[in-house]
Amino acid sequence: MACYRFSQWQIGSNILIMSKYIVTLLELLKVLASSAQVQLSYLDSLGSPSVDELALEFEDLFLIASSKLEAGELTSLQFENLEVLDSMFDKISGVDKHWTTSSLCESAEWEEIRKLANLCLKQFD
């Protein structure tokens, strides 16, 4: 498991000191909240054409979210919103049609994931 240290994160003119876990989480949430084209570009930058990589990266971070809640790095509201997003990924898990490029671009489920990721991001403002 990765060791997360602290890093600076700039929101507007404010510079915040956050754990690298939170910075990594925020960066992924920004991708998940973005358009399908941004998400596809992100996947290309990873060298992975597979749409499920987005869910896998989120799952890696969500698996330790409860310990980050206990450590005080996440608020209960932030954690609850992450749980809702995780539930959405669980809902589409195992259904092949949701893990295609066309689904990423056109499905209501991926649009809901974008909305939930945006809601998660707002909890960090």
Q: Supply the pTM of this predicted model.
A: 0.85
Residue 69: per-residue pLDDT = 96
Give the pLDDT of the chain (125 residues) as one tens digit per residue. 344 454 454 455 444 557 889 999 999 999 999 999 999 999 999 997 799 999 999 999 999 999 999 999 999 999 999 999 999 999 999 899 999 999 999 999 999 999 999 999 999 88
User: Is 23 buried (19+), middle (13-18) or exposed (0-12) by CB count in 10 A?
Assistant: middle
HSE-up of residue 82 (Cα within 13 Å, Cβ side): 24
Name the residue ranges covered by the structural domains of the chain.
6-122
Please provide the size of the chain in residues.
125
Residue 6: per-residue pLDDT = 46
**In one letter, which amino acid is 57?**
E
Please provide residue 11's backbone torsions phi and psi, each rounded to the nearest 5 degrees: -120, 110
At 18 the three-state DSSP class reads strand
